[in-house]
Amino acid sequence: MLLYICFREVDLEQAWNNIKQVHPLWLFLGVAGHFLIFIFWAKQWIVFLPGKVFVTFKEMFEINALMSTAMNTLPFPGGHAYGVFLLAKKEGVGHSAALSVMSLDQLTEGIAKLTVLLIVSWLTPLPLLIKKGILGLTVVIFIFTCILLYFSFRFHAYKKIRTDSNKTLKERAIDFISRWGQQLEGLRNIKTFSYGVILAYGMKLGEASAIWSIQKGFGVDLPIWSILLILAALNLATIIPLAPGNLGVYEATVFFIYQHLGIEPEQAIALALTQHLCFLLPLAGTGYVYIIMKVFFTKKTFVRE
């Protein structure tokens, strides 16, 4: 429906001509900006690992790539659960530690999104809907932070108990939650948590650079805050990812923001489609590359044997 609303009054031939005129270099930079997210993401997850748990950058990069593909393919929260599952499988990690990393990831992501929104609200007047979104996101982040802080400090000295077949389901659940709280070490260490927030800002910088590249590719001359406005609107519209790949929601958000900024409909929809493609190629495609490589090498090994 959102795609229909965007396309119904647009000259598609003119929109396609606009896309064809973009220099490939700008498209490459748009893809590279989104690919940069994985660099900061993998490093952030390594930083948030508890205790002496160690996962290499290469392994963590693969986990994030596969999780990102799942997030753009499976209904929410399937992709997030898959990421926790992949990390938990690594030696010495476990499900409670993996969930603690995911929890801190979501908290810092929320802080980064809220920061972008507040900067935009300071630079330019915002539509009423985005203002309400800022208020709602602030409340959600505050509540989530309080919950994590409570469990983090409540169980900071928790020692794992043996959970054998004699333990009840309630006892197992309490043990898991207690271990999860104890492993939220990144929240108790202000230096570690601040580093994680900075890495989350780095991911937003990658997204912003991609938006800037697409604008330059189309020859759009807008103030610098327009990039943050688009990023802020996307952060709100896609806060709960929709499968597949936020199709429709992403395009509609970018299209309406560009319309709000005075861009012609044909160019606005061309910008929206191109930007989403540059987003999906790395964020969804990288995981598929890993899957194809694994299948290929598995078949190759099987043939040799």
Task: Let me know: does 284 contact 69? Beta carbons within 8 Å.
Answer: yes
228, exposed or middle or buried, with CB in 10 Å at 0-12, 13-18, 19+? buried
User: Rounded to whole angstroms, how far apart are CA atoms 286 and 248?
Assistant: 22
What pLDDT, in 10s, does the model give residues 211-248? 999 999 998 888 888 999 999 889 888 877 776 778 88
Largest CA distance in the chain: 69
Confidence of residue 21 (pLDDT cuts 50, 70, 90): confident
244 is written with which tokens? Answer: 């597949």
Mean pLDDT (whole number) for 130-151: 90
Residue with tokens 């409540």: 154
Task: Let me know: does 19 contact 273? Beta carbons within 8 Å.
Answer: yes
Task: Let me know: does 128 contact 97? Beta carbons within 8 Å.
Answer: no
Chain centroid to Cα 273, Å, comes to 19
* pLDDT score for 131: 80
Q: How many residues does the chain have?
A: 305
Looking at per-residue pLDDT, the higher value among 40 and 260 belongs to 40
**DSSP, res 239:** S
Task: Let me know: does 210 contact 278? Beta carbons within 8 Å.
Answer: yes
Does the pTM of the predicted model rise above 0.85?
yes
105 is written with which tokens? Answer: 């990831």
What pLDDT, in 10s, does the model give residues 154-205? 988 777 655 555 677 888 888 889 999 999 999 999 999 999 999 999 999 9
What pLDDT, in 10s, does the model give residues 81-103? 999 999 999 988 999 999 999 99
User: Rounded to whole angstroms, how far apart are CA atoms 94 and 110?
Assistant: 25
* pLDDT score for 103: 96
89 is written with which tokens? Answer: 């499988």
**Sign of the alpha-carbon torsion through 200, 203, 207, 209:** positive
The mean pLDDT value of the chain amounts to 87
* pLDDT score for 128: 77
Residue with tokens 């169980």: 155
What are the extents of the domains in the chain? 2-304
User: Rounded to whole angstroms, how far apart are CA atoms 182 and 178?
Assistant: 6
**DSSP, res 202:** H
Q: Among the ranges 70-84, 91-105, 111-125, which has the highest mean pLDDT value? A: 91-105
* pLDDT score for 295: 80
Radius of gyration over every alpha carbon of the chain, rounded to an integer in angstroms = 21
Interacting residues of 123 by C-beta distance below 8 A, sequence separation 6+: 225, 228
